[in-house]
Amino acid sequence: MSPLRVLPLADFVVGQPRATSALQRALEADRIFPSLVFHGPGGVGKLSTALLLARALLCQAQGERPCGACVSCRHIGERSLIHADVRLALPEKKSAFDRDSSGSEGPAGIDPQALQAEAVRNPVWSVLIDRLRQGIAFLQRSPSESPRRVLIVDQAHRMEAVAANALLKTLEEPPAHALLVLITSSWHALLPTIRSRCRAVPFQLVPRTHIVNYLVERREMAAEEAVLRAGLSGGRIGAGLDLDLEEFRRRRDALLSVLDELARHGDPGLAVARAEAIVQAGDSAEGDLEILMALLRDLMVLAASPAAEARLVNVDIAPGLRDLAACLEGRSGPALEDLETAIESIRQKGNRQLLVENFLIGLVPEVPGPPGVHARS
């Protein structure tokens, strides 16, 4: 087979020059390794890149690939996967598989991004052995429409042990037409026997400026919104795109009021009440603590340099943050350290209520007491 003429993959994937350049060279030389592992943080484009690779390999155009116009390209999309020679396996609920599976060779006619988001929201799900057996059987059969067959296993570190072991024979003796792409946020969570038989393709967090440019230029988003989404994404472009900005602002405004209230005229009793409200939020409590982290980081930046607005995450509320930073009088840095410690302790199964209370009490300003003694107001 002659080398492929491939469009620059970097034009399709944001902020992943190392991964795209490696795949570009392999495609153009027609030397794609039969088993790849895309590893790196979640939300940085690994699944999108795997689907792009499938489009480039299976594209029917005689010129540069992927053309985006042929039937094959149209059937391999981030939001619609219906190609007969591409399959996707993800963590899923066992009862749903048993109910819905009818012996088919795997999901087809699906929304890959929606399925991935659902799997992420359900960390107890795993990549099932039955689903993987379907995928292996699919790879072994000859392609029906293309020269290749592609199996993508998303969140491969969540494969059941027996499922991971079932892959070994396919990894050792892959059919000539087969490509297996494993996607994981935890390279070392994969079995060593799997890692040793695959070619690793590393992904990284996306620089903030790259995300801003992508949102403005390709998504035609207003600059202020793009900057806010990019700052809140933590380098994960998927998180920036999926953010419910209206809900985020509602929660942020409430938490900013808590910080302001405690910093200006709070007392320990008020801190306890506000901690209880945060903890009772249930599943959203961890998200609230992450929002508080971003706010405190911004306050620390402004305390060090009031003119450093360009470095803020919450740049849309810079004036209010500047006033609060002045009110905190240098306490934002220690408060950020206290919150980081509290969050880590919560993740280690510490008492959430007590830890959040202690953090918020630390924001209450001290008032002078007798000589040599300080007391909270």
Q: What is the pLDDT of residues 245-272, one digit of tens each?
A: 999 999 999 999 989 988 887 788 888 8
What number is the average pLDDT over the span 99-110?
A: 59
Could you tell me the pLDDT band of residue 3, with boundaries at 50, 70 and 90? low
Q: What is the pLDDT of residue 2?
A: 56
What number is the average pLDDT over the span 62-70?
A: 92
Higher pLDDT, 170 or 103: 170
Domains of the chain, with CATH numbers?
9-204 (3.40.50.300), 244-376 (1.20.272)
Residues contacting residue 295 through CB under 8 Å, at least 6 positions apart: 252, 255, 256, 259, 314, 321
What is the CB neighbour count within 10 angstroms for residue 146?
18
What are the start-end ranges of the H helices in 222-349? Answer: 223-233, 237-242, 245-265, 268-279, 285-304, 318-328, 332-347
Q: What is the pLDDT of residue 303?
A: 86
Structure tokens of 177? 């037409």
Q: What is the pLDDT of residue 250?
A: 92
What number is the average pLDDT over the span 114-141?
A: 93
Separation of alpha carbons 155 and 202, rounded Å = 14
Separation of alpha carbons 58 and 61, rounded Å = 9
Q: State the virtual CA torsion across 105, 110, 112, 118 in degrees, nearest 10.
A: -100
pLDDT tens digits, one per residue of 184-236 = 999 999 999 999 999 999 999 999 999 999 999 999 999 889 999 998 898 99
Q: Is the pLDDT of residue 308 over 50?
A: yes
pTM: 0.83
Could you tell me the pLDDT band of residue 369, with boundaries at 50, 70 and 90? very low
pLDDT tens digits, one per residue of 320-334 = 998 898 888 778 888
